[in-house]
Structure formats: structure tokens, C-alpha cells
Amino acid sequence: PVKIVTIGGGSSYTPELMEGFIKRYQDLPIREIWLVDIEDGKEKLEIVGALAQRMWDASPYDVKVHLTLDRREALKDADFVTTQFRVGLLDARIKDERIPLLHGMLGQETNGAGGIFKAFRTIPVIGQIIEDMKELCPNAWLINFTNPSGMVTEAAIKHFGWERCIGLCNVPTISMMAEPRLLGKDLSELTYRFAGLNHFHWHKVYDRDGKDLTPELIDHINEAGGGTPVNIYQAPFPLELLHSMNLLPCGYHRYYYQKQAMLDHALEEFRQGGTRAEQVKQTEKELFELYKNPQLHEKPVQLSKRGGAYYSDAACECIRAIYSNSRTHMVVSTRNNGAISCLDDDSIVEVSSLISATGAQPLAWGPMPSAEKGWLQMMKAMEECTIQAALTGDYGLALEAFVLNPLVENNAETQRVLDELLVAHEKYLPQF
């Protein structure tokens, strides 16, 4: 029987996770689930934790959900540790999104200056979690969902030395749900190949005869239901660009390929209803009101308003595939090991992989066309710089990460944005 520990258990996504485990119980016999949070998240933990227990009680399975603020108590002898925490909660994300916008730059949870600061706050904490895991559950798998998922996973594996770590995102899952519908086919009839970085990958799709369906899907990409998560504004992609590449970009590529349209839209929202983080705070409040209802014992449909919907299809499926050694195709953040030839072997990349008891085995993509090679090398350099700054608290490296980031404008405001964010987040940045 399996022991699961979820750090950041007070997240509104926890019912997703429970649903995913209940669905897979026959293949993944769980004995106990420990939801870990901190003092600031205690109330959320108690509300969503009670719903989690009700979900299991309404299922045919006998699983106990433990709630604790003591991470070490929970980690003891864990088999799988999943992470879904947010250092500083949504108030910190509001600052990440508002401050750059006030200076005319895109503020976004995982991209631009906001994403860099989320990494600065999160990487030291993942380091502390791994310190505890080395002592208390040295054989456990760490399934990281905490954003920026690619950089946090790279820090966990490369810098804190936790090899048994896989990083996840729901974006590839959503594509693989939406696109078969657009094609009028079943997922099992298609072959998918993804490669790139988290929130910066491309993919291709083939049918059973090996015919490339990428051009057909490009023609559908600007339609509703095209596979973009709900948190991203769907500025239309220029189809000529995509057809020349003959690659399907991920939803987050809009911030790079359609930078001005995305900035204009973010400013518009900022003036009207507030940034995405402020909207999400309202959604979260509504969700927790629903969760309090003792009659509720399933995941409410309103959770689909969050961009991370279908998260459990990635997280629970990955754990199931490791546990049952099933060699299932999944798109995960893992060590490159040559899969993308223009990036270092030890870089963490988000690629099609086979998931088994030994973890993720990335499938070779091979060389990238020169445009994508250029993007990837720059974005990886920016990520490495961000991670080094997060580890050392070096101001110059933080500034270099800013200068390298295509969504941080390099002008008289650049350093002001950096300084304002450093002050705003001081409480969560002891290393600076």
C-alpha cells in the first residue's frame, strides 16, 4: 500500500487530485494521504481536507486523509511526494502580476518578471523539502507541480540532487484532450511528440499511418476548444508563422509570438477587473464556500474555471505509471539526456517520455530548426540565470535574468521593476 504526501495540501486543486486517485485506485492502492500546509494556509487545509476525506468516504475505498502543518511528520516513509504549494499565496502572485504591468511590462504567473520572482521565492523552499526527504523518505518520488514547474524541477534535480523527481504541467494534457476532438479521432489513434521547456514547448501529431496532422491542427488553433488553458487570453496566432514552422506551439507561446496583443489585453483587464491573480482570488473564495458544504463529496464543476484543471490527469497518471511500471507516454519535465540535441544533457526539458518504475525516459526529438534552437537556448540561459540568482541571492544575476527574459523590457524601468519586486517580496526572499 502506498503513502502519498502532498505539500500545499490546502490548494483548491486538492479535490482534482483525490478524484484522480479514486479513479486509479485499482492500479494504485493507496493506504494514506497526508496533506501538508503552513499556518497561513491552515483554514484552507481544514476545509479542503474535510472535502477530500468525504470524497474517499463516498468511494468504495478505505483511505485516510491526514491533515498536518508538520511536514516532517508527514514525510516519514512516504512513497510519493507531490508539491502544489505557493509561497506567499495569491497575494504574492498579485504583486508579480501588477508591478511589472505598472511599468508597461507583462506581468504573468510563470512568465516574464513575475515568473522569475515566483522562482526566487519557491526554489529555497523546494531545497528545504528535499533536505527533509533525504532524511525521512530517501526512496520517494517527488512529483513537482509547483510553478515555475520547469525551473523548480531543474533546481530539485540538478542543484539539490533529487534524481527521483518529475515535473508536471497540465498544458500537454489539455492539448491531448482537445486536439483529438478537433480531428474527430480518438487519442489512441494518434502519435504525439512534444519537445521544449515548460510553458515553452512545441509538438507534432501523426495518425496511424504516420501522416503528419500538424498542418490540419494549425488551421484549428485559433478556435475555441483548441487546447489553450483558460487562464491564457487567446490572441490569435499568425497562421503563416505556424505553417512555416510546421509545429504546434503551446498556449504560452502567445506571450512571445503576440507580445503586444497580450500586453494590451493584460493592461485592459488590469484597468477593468484586475489581473488574473485578482480574478483567481475571487474564484478561490467561491470554491472554498462550496467546499464547506458537508453534502458535497465530489469535485465541483466550478474548478474548471482554474487554468490548472485536469491537473490530476497528469499527476495521478504519472504516479500510477511509475508504480505499475507501465511505460506510458507522458509529457514531463525531466533530464534532457540528449533528447533535444541543442541543449545540455543535464538540462531539464519538457518532452515526450515513457514513464516506468525507473522514472521518465525522454524520447529523442533530435535537432531543432534554427529559430526554435535560438529560442530554446536563450530561454534555458534565462532559466539557469534565474535559478543561480535564486540560490545565491546575487543581485547582478537577478538583473541578468531580467535582461535575458524577452518579456522584461530592457529600458530605464528595468531595474526599477527588479527593485520594487525585491522590496515587495522581501519577506519571502531571505537569500537576497
252-265 burial, b if ≥16 CB within 10 A, otherwise e?
Answer: bbbbeebbeebbeb
Measured torsion, CA atoms of residues 306, 307, 311, 313, in degrees rounded to the nearest 10: 100
388 vs 377: CA distance, rounded Å: 16
Min CB(174)–ligand G6P separation in Å? 7
Helix (H, G, I), strand (E, B) or coil at 431: coil
Among 3, 5, 6, 7, binds ligand NAD (CB under 6 A): 7
Per the residue annotation, which of 13, 192, 233, 252 is the catalytic one?
252
Q: Give me the 132-171 binding string for ligand NAD, x by CB under 6 A, dash otherwise.
A: -------------xxx-x------------------xxx-
Assess 308 for contact with ligand G6P (CB under 6 A).
yes
CB 376 within 8 A of CB 197: yes
The position carrying cell 504574492 is 92
What residues from 168 to 197 belong to the interface with ligand G6P (CB under 6 A)?
Answer: 169-171
Total binding residues toward ligand NAD, as defined by CB under 6 A: 28
End-to-end Cα spacing for the chain = 43
The C-alpha angle 229, 230, 236, rounded to 5 degrees, equals 80
Q: Which is nearer to Mn ion, 169 or 318 (CB)?
A: 169
In this structure, the strands spanning 80-83 and 2-7 are: parallel
| Contact positions with ligand G6P (CB under 6 A) in 227-256 | 229, 231
Three-state secondary-structure class, residue 267: helix
* Segment interacting with ligand G6P (CB under 6 A) among 5-13, 81-89, 167-175, 374-382: 167-175
Interface with Mn ion includes 169 (CB under 5 A)? yes
- Residue 41 interacts with, from ligand NAD, Mn ion, ligand G6P, none (CB under 5-8 Å by kind): ligand NAD
For residue 182, count other CB atoms closer than 10 A to its CB: 17
d(CA 361, CA 160): 21
Q: Which of 79, 97, 109, 317 binds ligand G6P (CB under 6 A)?
A: 109
If contact means CB under 5 to 8 A according to the sort of partner, which of Mn ion, ligand G6P, ligand NAD, none does residue 231 touch? ligand G6P
Task: Check residue 10 for interaction with ligand G6P (CB under 6 A).
Answer: no
Identify which of residues 87 and 232 has a Cβ nearer to ligand NAD in the complex.
87
CB of 102 to Mn ion, least distance (A): 25
| Minimum distance from residue 315 beta carbon to ligand G6P (Å) | 12
At 281 the three-state DSSP class reads helix
Cell of 109: 504567473
Residue closer to Mn ion (CB basis): 68 or 283: 283
Size of the site for ligand G6P (CB under 6 A): 13
- The distance of closest approach from Cβ of residue 93 to ligand G6P in the complex, given in angstroms and rounded to an integer, is 8
307 touches ligand G6P (CB under 6 A): yes
373: its cell numbers: 534552437
CB nearer to ligand G6P: pick between 204 and 276: 276
**Least separation, in Å, of the C-beta of 165 and Mn ion?**
16
* 206 given a catalytic annotation: no
Contact stretch for ligand G6P (CB under 6 A) within 30-38, 75-83, 303-311, 404-412: 303-311
Q: Which amino acid is at 10?
A: G
Instruction: Write down the least CB distance from residue 148 to ligand NAD, Å.
Output: 8
The listed partner (ligand G6P, ligand NAD, Mn ion, none) that binds 276, CB under 5 to 8 Å by sort, is ligand G6P
**DSSP 8-state assignment for residue 155:** I
Q: 361, 40 in Cβ contact below 8 A?
A: no
**What residues from 23 to 62 belong to the interface with ligand NAD (CB under 6 A)?**
36-38, 40-41, 44
Cell 516513509 found at: 77
- b/e map 268-305, b = 16+ CB within 10 Å: ebbeeebbbbbebbeebeebbebbeeeebbebeeebeb
Contact 5, 82 (CB under 8 A): yes
Q: Is 355 helix (H, G, I), strand (E, B) or coil?
A: strand
Per the structure block, which three cell numbers stand in for 354? 515513457
Q: What would the x/- binding string for Mn ion be over residues 118 to 157, using CB under 5 A?
A: ----------------------------------------
Give the Cβ contact number of residue 26 at 10 Å: 8
Q: Which residues bind ligand NAD (CB under 6 A)?
A: 7-8, 10-13, 36-38, 40-41, 44, 84-87, 89-90, 125, 145-147, 149, 168-170, 308, 311
Residues that bind ligand G6P (CB under 6 A): 109-110, 147, 169-171, 229, 231, 276, 280, 306-308
The binding site for Mn ion (CB under 5 A) comprises 169
User: Catalytic residues, which ones?
Assistant: 252
